[in-house]
Amino acid sequence: MIELPKERILLDRSFQNWEDALRKIGEWMVVKGNVTPDYIQSMIDRQKRMSVYIGNFVALPHAEGTDESVIEEGIFLIQVPDGINFGTKDEPKIATILFAAALKKEHQLSVLQELAFFCSDIDQVMALSDANTVEEIQMIFAQAHT
């Protein structure tokens, strides 16, 4: 089961583009003490190599091979009602829910798979997109079909 502490959930955010989103989310993760500042550029580089968009209006921003940049592992949820394009102008991939992951290499695959499985249920994703409170988000995860 996915558990997200309330201090790792941001609701009703907006960003100019995916790079702005990753920079601001990364800065938040640094302030929370989960990652070092170089993790931010690693997330941006990861998106440039291959989109972190996974479908169903969800993106999973994360860095690869940066264990030294992860101070404390954690998943962060950012709700973006207006969406962010993680694709191109010709092939948009709009995400309204972002799960930013700060994970050690040994845990990345299993946690990202669990999140991807959760997000394969469009009803669960829509519930996250429509939630108005952090408590609602936590309840959705508690009742999730995993």
pLDDT in tens, 87-112: 999 999 999 999 998 888 777 778 88
C-alpha 143 chain-centroid distance? 20
| Residue 61 to residue 23: CA distance in whole angstroms | 11
pTM of the model: 0.92
| Residue 71 to residue 31: CA distance in whole angstroms | 12
Q: Say which DSSP state 8 is in.
A: G
| Residue 45 to residue 62: CA distance in whole angstroms | 10
pLDDT one-digit tens code per residue, 73-85: 999 999 999 999 9
Catalytic residue among 8, 46, 62, 93: 62
- Look up 62 and say whether it is catalytic: yes
| Residue 131 to residue 12: CA distance in whole angstroms | 9
